C-alpha cells in the first residue's frame, strides 16, 4: 500500500498510544484512589479504541469476553464495543441501501426508522417493519469499510513483524500469521452474501434443536453490504441479574451455549467463531431446565475437517482420562507437534503440567486452566499452533469468557465431559466407537474398570436438548444394536479368557448402570 496512505494513520496510532500514556501519568499525580483511576482509564481506552475504528474495535471485542484477563471495571467499558458504538450518518446508510437493493428504504419497507437501534464495528442495525407485524433487522455496512480494513491490517502486520523479536514468546508460529488469519476472517465477515449463506447453513444444522434459534434471512432484501433477517426479541447475555429479572436461569443458558458450541466443533465441524454477548440472546425456554439461545451475526464462521473433529474428541477423552501417551499422539495428528518428534520427552511434561490439575478434581478444572498450564510447555517444547486452529481457540475462549461473565464460578469441563461421553456411547461412527473401545479396554483386552465407572458416573444427570436422558438409548444401541458387534465381541473375549471373575469389579459398574437403565428412565428416553 502507498506510504502516503498508511503513514498518517501510523502517526494517528502513535498519538493515540501516547495519549493513553500521558493520561495514565497525569492521573497518577492526582490524589484519586485506584478504583477511580481504573474507571477513568477504562473510559479513555474505550474512547481510543472507538476512534481507531473497526480493526481495533474487533480486538477490543475479543478482550471484552475475557473477565479472567481484563479488570472488571475495564471489562464493563469494553462490552460497549459489542453493539453500543457511535452510528455513522443515516443518509449514508440510506444511500448504501438504495445502491445495493435498488430502491429507497421507504419503498422496500412499510416502516423504516430514521436512526439505527444499534451500531457495531462493521455496520449498524435498523429495526424495520416489513409487513403487518413482521419486524426485521436490517444491517447496513459502514461506508468505505474495505479500504479502512486493508489499510489498518497492513499497519498491524508491519508492527507485528517489528515487535515480535522483542517479545518473550515461543508460539511456534509468527505473530504476523495471526494478523493474516484475523484479516482473512474480517474480509469474510464484511461479505453479507456469504453471511446469509452461513446463517442458512447454521440454521439447518440446528433445525431439530429446540434450544437454538437462528433468524430467517430475507434474501430479496440482502446483498453484499446489506443483510435483512427476522427480528430476534431476547435478552442480551451481558448481565446475569437482567437474565433473572426476565425469568431466565443463567446457568441453563451457559449449559446450552457450551453444549451447542461443542456440537458445532465435534459433530458438525462448522462453528460460530465470534460468540460474544452481542451476538447471542437468551430467550424464554421452551423446555423446563433447558436454556434457549438465539445466535445472530454469522459473518465469522469456520470449518474443521472430519479428521480434526474425531482427533479433537479423542484428545479430550485422553485428557479426561490422564492418558498422556495417546494425548501426545493426538497433538501430533492435529499438527501441534512435529510428527517426527520423539514423544518420550514430551509425555512426562504433559503429565506434570496437565495431570496434576485433573488429579485435583475434574469439576475444578476449566479451559482457562488448560491454556494457562499448556502455555508453560510452549516455552520449553516445540509446540506450534496450526493456523487452522486460530478461530477454534478464539471460539472456545470466547464461549468460556461469556460463561464466566454470567457465572464467575463456572467450570467448562463438568459440562463438556458428559457431552463427550454421551457422544462416545452413541457409537454413531466407527471412529467414535474406536475411541470408546480405547477407553473401555486396554491393549491386552482387559476392562478399564475405573474409566468405565468414571464414564458412567459423569452421565448420571446428562440430558439432551429435549430434556431426555442420553445414556439409556446409547447403551441399548451398544449392547444390542448392529453397531455394537465389535464391543460385544471384545467383552465376550474378556469374560472367556479370565480364569475367575472378580465380581467386585462389576459391582460399582452395576450400581452406576442401575440408575440409568431403570425401566421408567429408559421409557422416558425412548418416547
CA 258/CA 244 separation, integer angstroms: 19
Scanning the structure block, which residue is given the C-alpha cell 500514556? 21
Strand order in the sheet with 280-287: 212-213, 290-295, 280-287, 235-236
- Counted residue by residue, the chain has a size of 527
Cell 479513555 identifies what position? 44
Q: Return d(Cα 179, Cα 282) in angstroms, integer.
A: 32
**DSSP classification of residue 216:** P
- Rounded to 10 degrees, the C-alpha dihedral 185/189/190/196 comes to 150
Single out the residue of 340, 75, 381, 93 nearest to residue 227, CA to CA.
93
213 strand-pairing partners: 294
Instruction: Indicate if 308 belongs to the active site.
Output: no
Main-chain dihedrals φ then ψ at residue 312, nearest 5 degrees:
-60, -40
Distance separating alpha carbons of residues 465 and 212, to the nearest angstrom: 9
Position of cell 493513553? 20
- Contact by Cβ (8 Å): 141, 96: yes
Chain mean position to CA 328: 24
* Best CA proximity match to 122, nearest among 95, 149, 94: 149
| 3-class SS of residue 227 | strand
* Phi (first) and psi of residue 280, to 5 degrees: -140, 140
Check 76, 191, 239, 274 and give the catalytic one: 274
Phi and psi at 212, nearest 5°, equal -125, 130
Closest CA to 492 of 447, 455, 434: 447
Rounded to an integer, what distance in angstroms lies between the CA atom of residue 399 and that of residue 61?
13
CB 23, CB 41: distance < 8 Å:
yes
Q: Which residues contact 239 (CB under 8 A, 6 or more apart)?
A: none
Q: How far apart are CA 403 and CA 67, in angstroms?
A: 10
Using DSSP, state whether 331 is helix, strand or coil. Answer: helix
Question: Could you tell me which of 468, 491, 487, 470 has the C-alpha nearest to residue 478?
Answer: 487
Residues 386 and 339: beta-carbon distance below 8 Å = no
Known catalytic residues are 274
Amino acid at each position: 500500500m502507498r506510504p502516503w496512505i498508511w503513514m498518517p494513520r501510523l502517526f494517528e496510532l502513535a498519538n493515540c498510544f501516547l495519549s493513553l500514556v500521558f493520561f495514565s501519568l497525569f492521573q497518577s499525580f492526582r490524589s484519586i484512589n485506584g478504583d477511580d483511576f481504573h474507571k477513568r482509564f477504562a473510559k479513555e481506552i474505550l474512547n481510543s479504541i472507538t476512534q481507531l475504528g473497526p480493526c481495533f474495535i474487533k480486538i477490543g471485542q475479543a478482550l471484552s469476553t475475557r473477565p479472567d484477563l481484563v479488570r472488571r471495571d475495564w471489562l464493563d467499558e469494553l462490552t460497549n464495543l459489542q453493539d453500543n458504538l457511535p452510528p455513522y450518518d443515516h443518509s449514508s446508510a440510506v444511500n448504501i441501501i438504495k445502491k445495493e437493493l435498488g430502491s429507497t428504504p421507504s419503498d422496500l419497507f412499510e416502516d423504516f426508522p430514521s436512526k439505527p437501534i444499534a451500531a457495531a464495528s462493521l455496520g449498524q442495525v435498523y429495526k424495520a417493519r416489513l409487513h403487518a407485524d413482521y419486524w426485521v433487522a436490517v444491517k447496513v455496512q459502514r461506508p468505505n469499510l474495505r479500504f479502512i480494513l486493508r489499510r489498518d491490517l497492513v499497519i498491524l502486520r508491519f508492527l507485528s513483524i517489528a515487535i515480535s523479536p522483542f517479545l518473550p514468546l515461543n508460539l511456534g508460529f509468527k505473530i504476523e500469521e495471526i494478523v493474516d488469519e484475523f484479516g482473512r476472517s474480517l474480509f469474510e465477515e464484511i461479505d453479507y452474501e456469504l453471511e446469509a449463506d452461513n446463517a442458512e447453513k447454521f440454521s439447518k444444522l440446528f433445525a431439530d434443536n429446540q434450544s437454538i434459534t437462528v433468524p430467517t434471512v430475507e434474501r430479496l432484501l440482502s446483498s453484499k453490504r446489506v443483510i435483512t433477517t427476522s427480528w430476534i426479541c431476547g435478552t442480551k447475555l451481558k448481565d446475569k441479574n437482567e437474565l433473572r429479572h426476565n425469568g431466565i436461569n443463567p446457568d441453563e443458558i451457559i449449559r446450552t451455549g457450551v453444549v451447542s458450541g461443542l456440537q458445532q466443533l465435534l459433530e458438525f465441524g462448522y462453528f460460530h467463531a465470534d460468540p460474544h454477548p452481542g451476538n447471542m440472546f437468551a430467550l424464554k425456554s421452551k423446555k423446563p431446565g433447558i436454556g434457549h439461545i438465539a445466535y445472530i451475526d454469522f459473518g465469522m464462521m469456520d470449518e474443521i475437517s472430519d479428521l480434526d473433529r474425531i482427533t479433537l474428541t479423542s484428545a479430550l477423552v485422553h485428557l479426561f482420562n490422564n492418558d498422556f501417551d495417546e494425548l501426545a499422539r493426538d497433538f501430533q495428528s492435529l499438527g501441534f507437534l512435529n510428527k517426527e518428534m520423539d514423544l518420550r520427552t514430551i509425555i512426562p511434561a504433559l503429565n506434570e503440567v496437565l495431570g496434576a490439575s485433573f488429579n485435583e478434581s475434574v469439576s475444578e478444572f476449566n479451559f482457562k486452566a488448560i491454556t494457562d498450564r499448556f502455555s508453560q510447555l510452549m516455552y520449553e517444547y516445540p509446540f506450534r499452533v496450526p493456523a487452522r486452529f486460530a478461530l477454534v481457540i478464539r471460539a472456545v475462549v470466547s464461549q468460556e469468557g461469556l460463561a464466566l461473565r454470567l457465572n464467575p464460578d463456572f467450570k467448562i469441563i463438568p459440562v463438556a465431559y458428559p457431552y463427550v461421553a454421551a457422544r462416545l456411547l452413541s457409537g454413531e461412527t466407527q471412529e467414535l466407537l474406536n475411541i470408546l473401545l480405547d477407553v473401555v479396554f486396554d491393549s491386552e483386552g482387559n476392562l478399564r474398570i475405573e474409566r468405565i465407572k468414571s464414564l458412567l458416573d459423569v452421565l448420571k444427570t446428562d440430558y439432551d436438548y429435549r430434556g431426555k436422558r442420553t445414556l439409556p438409548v446409547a447403551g441399548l444401541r451398544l449392547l444390542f444394536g448392529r453397531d455394537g458387534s465389535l464391543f460385544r465381541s471384545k467383552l465376550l473375549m474378556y469374560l472367556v479368557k479370565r480364569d475367575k471373575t472378580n465380581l467386585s469389579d462389576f459391582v460399582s459398574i452395576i450400581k452406576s448402570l442401575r440408575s440409568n437403565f431403570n425401566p421408567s428412565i429408559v421409557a422416558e428416553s425412548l418416547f
